[in-house]
Chain A
Amino acid sequence: MNLTFYNDKATWLHRLDPRTKICGVLLIFVICLCFNHPLFIAAILAGVLAIFTTAKSIKVLWKLRFLLVLLFVFSVVLWPFFIKGKTILLEWHGLEVSRESLLYGLAMGLRLTTFVSAGLLLLATTKNEEITNGLIRLGIPYPVAFALATAIRLAPTFADAGATIVQAQVSRGLDLDSKNIFSRFKRFAPLSIPIFISAMRYTNFLAMALESKGFRPDAPRTSYYEPQITGKDWLVLGFLTLILAACLYMRIALHWGIIIPGRL
């Protein structure tokens, strides 16, 4: 699977300052936390999806469709059993499912999907280097920002190595087509050890290459991309803050968008 999410286009979102995008995503996270009614969160998700289309990056979301569906389904199925509501729909050996808990589960599924989508929106429209740069300018220490960016950078590399390793072991007769639990356990070592070793080698090598190019995490360095905060950035941040304020007002003063009071 290809885990590179950056989608090289020239849309308004790609041109925004990385700081704006990082803060924007955080604002969307908080906005998601304002409600626990599925309709309200669905509206927020629709908003995020709309931004995806204007950033011409829906295909990035499509890449992760299985993960998104899985998160959603798990949340919808599991939450109802842990939340108590008034209108009982089903009771069985002490387990009960109510209308409220069902809706709450739906809301949490949508919220998780919105979280992941908003994060992907950042990765799809922002280069790794820009994310590092943005984090540093937001006051995150360089080593932390660099480690984070490196982790994002290495994910696709290790996924590639993993795919090759799977093919190499299947060629030796490793049975990955069977659904048998026992044989699944047996294939753990042949896959995990080469992946671990190749990751170790790769990382060690990368460290050598970085140092050889004069890189040291604690020293000052310039940046090739110098993003600037422009009027557009302020507009986006202002708009999102306004939405957040409106959402808080709806939740706290008007008590809208609540299925189960007292819960996020």
Chain B
Amino acid sequence: MTSSIVFDHLSFSYQNTTAPALQDISGEMSRGSFTMVMGHSGAGKSTLCCAINGLVPRFLRGDYVGMVMAEGMEAGKNSVPDMARAVGIVLQDFEAQLFSTNVELEMAFGLENQCLPRSAMEERIHTFLRVVGLEELLRRDTATLSGGQKQRLAIGSVLAMETPVLVMDEPTTDIDPEGRRHILSLIRRLRTQERTLVVTDLDAEAAVQADQVWLLKDGQLLAKGTPAETLTDSSLVESCGIRPLATIALFQAMNWPGQPLTVDAAMAEIDNQGLLCPRCPESRAISALTTGKVILETRNLSYRYPAGSTNALSDIDLTIQEGDFVAMLGQNGSGKTTLAKHFNGLLKPTAGDMFVRGRPVNNCRRHELAREVGYVFQNPDHQIFASTVGEEVSFGPRILGMDRKTLERNIAEALDATGLSGFEDKNPFLLNRGERQRVAVASILAVKPAVIILDEPTTGLDYVHQLDTMEMLKRLNQLGHTIIVITHAMWIAEAYTRRSILMKEGRILLDGPTASVFSDETMLAAASLAPSDLIRLRNRLGLAAMTLTDMVKELRGENILK
């Protein structure tokens, strides 16, 4: 096979930084192949993507050594618009790259730059909107699309340019599981189109279908090979900041022979080799919900956005007890965030009531509620403004008028809980995304609210930072804080929360102990969700445990309930 992309001893470091972003990368991607590039955040995945079409070093400047060739064009020597003839790229922040008034014009933008006549544009637009499954939405305003649809439009608009190389930087982060499934099946279909595909992702489950997997760590290419060669090495995968495949991890922990990459392969392996005698799922013992003092309560709560024609929330009846750890799950637009914004009074119900510690929220002022209920927004950059971490974290307690002594103690505790002790004098804008996320949590924590709500606390974070964040939340929960996470990452709900609330179209579809909610795959599917591979295995094996360690203990016959 001929090579489509060639990296020849490529090293790059960004201006004003000392650590190199990429170090001596050499390798080839053959024409029509699908390469999955993986690694922790800051490993150099985005830099590698941008080096293929020349954004590195033409737009993002720095020290550039070596060479990248894409379809015979040298990326460093050609301008980015010139490289666009050979390489199409879907950048990480897909929302920001949608620029046009409607879907049709967004698709046309690249084609206009290629100086295509209108008739040819029309044909391509229709063809590729069908490919990405958006043909019905030709005239829709791009701002009204869901996250998954926006991402598919961003991909479609690049596909329409018919470049031989297509690069996608983390196309499945920031979207709900349904959207993610669409993108992954789209990638599968694209494989038949003779294009060279380069995709980065944080999730090993997405890499199983690739031809080649490249593993990056600290800017170095640690390993490359087929999924069967690379993903089966759990310790290598984990050292690159990626959560290892559940099937591989379980087989290794149990010392079972075989290295299945998917749940189906794992089940076949277990059946064929008779590794396990069948169990009866009904005998699973699942602990009941936390009982305690009610802290948040909604009664018949409905909400309609001022410009909306239908209810965003309808008849929500919900009580949340002090000290609970709750996951709110559901597709984009199912009402999770809208409901959570009622908990701290950011939104006021159109009908029904919201109570915090028995007090109706309508009678409270919003900044007073901040003492009881803290809300960490999805994007930490929407709240960071101070020039030092200490100042940032002290903003909340100070504005709420805490005295100096309490203030200092709270800040120290908040920094300690988030692992940021010693960061007081650092500039928050110079920290990485994971650290900025923790600054945002610390700044809420310093107010010492009884309830902490986190909207997508792990998006944009790699496995290591996700673990850090969740372990921190677990500690806070043990200290008595009630934690509510809104998340698309199923494994986080599975492994950490006690209660799961499943939402769909503004209503609560299912609410119960996480262990039983995740046993009900039909209900999850009704909410367009699916459990992680680990929990799918657990359900098929009829186990009660929700984490790998507990599963192994249960399989070995130990009692995990104590």
Contacts and interface: CB of A to CB of B under 8 A. Distances in A.
A4 B141 contact: yes
A226 B105 CA distance: 12
B108 A201 contact: no
Given A212-B80, A214-B161, A127 B101 contact: yes
Interface residues of B, number: 68
B99 A209 contact: yes
Contacts of A165: 382-383
Contacts of A8: 102, 139, 141
A241 interface: no
Nearest to B55: A208
Interface in A198-231: 198, 201-202, 205-216, 219-226
B367 A127 contact: no
Interface string B376-398: 11010111111000000001100
Interface stretch (A41-49, A85-93, A188-196, A255-263): A188-196
Contacts of A214: 81, 84-85, 110, 113-114, 161
A127 B346 contact: no
Contacts of A216: 79, 81, 113
B395 A172 contact: yes
Contact of B101 (A129, A193, A208): A129
Nearest to B370: A173
Contacts of A129: 100-101, 105
Contacts of B59: 207-208, 211
B444 A215 contact: no
A206 B346 CA distance: 30
B479 interface: no
Contacts of A219: 81, 113
B111 interface: yes
Tell me what chain A mostly uses at the interface: helix, strand, loop, or mixed. helix
A22 to B, nearest CB: 17
Given A129-B105, A205-B93, A190 B395 contact: yes
A172 B383 CA distance: 9
Contacts of B108: 224
B460 to A, nearest CB: 13
B344 A213 contact: no
B115 A222 contact: yes
B382 A222 contact: no
A202 B99 CA distance: 11
B104 interface: yes
A154 to B, nearest CB: 9
Contacts of B97: 205-206, 209
A128 interface: yes
Contact of A224 (B121, B157, B383): B121
B133 to A, nearest CB: 21
B96 A205 contact: yes
A208 B59 CA distance: 7
A82 to B, nearest CB: 39
Interface in A150-192: 153, 156, 161, 164-165, 167-177, 186, 189-192
Among A4, A169, A197, the one with the most B-chain Cβ atoms within 10 Å of its Cβ is A169
Contact of A222 (B102, B105, B112, B307): B112
B99 A190 contact: no
Contacts of A206: 96-97, 99
B158 interface: yes
Contacts of B415: none
Contacts of A161: 382
Nearest to A130: B101
Given A171-B444, A173-B370, A208-B59, A197 B429 contact: yes
B407 to A, nearest CB: 12
A2 interface: yes
B399 interface: yes
Q: Top 4 A-B pairs ranked by shortest CB distance?
A: A214-B84, A209-B97, A224-B108, A193-B385
23 contacts: A6-B101, A129-B101, A156-B143, A161-B382, A172-B396, A173-B370, A177-B366, A189-B386, A197-B381, A206-B97, A207-B59, A208-B50, A208-B59, A209-B97, A211-B80, A212-B53, A213-B88, A214-B110, A214-B161, A221-B112, A222-B111, A222-B112, A224-B105
Given A164-B379, A205-B96, 18 more contacts: A169-B383, A170-B346, A170-B367, A171-B346, A175-B367, A175-B399, A190-B395, A194-B381, A194-B384, A205-B93, A207-B59, A212-B53, A212-B55, A214-B110, A221-B115, A222-B115, A224-B105, A224-B121
Interface of A: 2, 4, 6, 8, 127-129, 153, 156, 161, 164-165, 167-177, 186, 189-194, 197-198, 201-202, 205-216, 219-226
